[in-house]
Amino acid sequence: MTPAGGAPQDLLTALRALHAARSVEVRERWQRSLPLADYVVDRWERARDLGFGPGSSIYDQSLVLGDVEVGEGTWIGPGTVLDGSGGLRIGATCSISAGVQIYTHDSVRWALSGGRAPYDRAPVVIGDHCYLGPCSIVTSGVSIGRHCLVGAHSLVNRDLPDYAIAYGTPCRVVGRVEVSGADVSLIYADAP
């Protein structure tokens, strides 16, 4: 007997058993509950398959398009969009939080021209050791320097220098990051 989707019943039974077993294991070990694919797909293996740097990981729920290069030890969270259709470079030991969208193209002129104008494409470069907060958007042609912190829900539509703290829509620099070995200080411009 096959269910409405056409998959054999024994396959569905095996998937349900796998999901149940992995759910218990992950809940006990990490106190998490995940979508089915994240119980099956190895994030580090997927990153290796995509040619990302050693020790990098990317969730199965992440969309990867075009030419995307990622450095060593970078974590790419769930629900992210990495559009490399115009060329995307992300440095080493970056944290690309859940829901971040990075675009190297836009279709504004294409849409407004009724499809007569081509898509605009420009590369995006994100330096080493950056943190992009949840649900941030990086637009085409932007360069983000090394050791930058981008706050959650920010629209990064202009370049950011090394060691910048920036947030907002549009994103603006509000401070600087100071790094000395393992010590990190966040210095805000409006701090006393």
- Where are the chain's structural domains? 6-40, 42-188
Give the Cα separation of 20 and 23 in Å (integer): 5
Nearest C-alpha neighbor of 83 from the set 167, 141, 157, 18: 141
Specify the pLDDT at position 39: 84
pLDDT of residue 1: 44
Decide: helix, strand or coil at residue 46. helix
- Mean pLDDT of the region 173-179: 97
The pTM assigned to this predicted structure is 0.89
pLDDT digits (tens, 9 = 90+) for 64-118: 999 999 999 999 999 999 999 999 999 999 999 999 999 999 999 999 999 999 9
Cα 97 to Cα 93: distance, rounded to the nearest angstrom: 13
Which CATH number does 42-188 carry?
2.160.10.10
The token pair that represents 113 in the structure block: 């021209």
Q: 175 with 165: CB under 8 angstroms?
A: yes
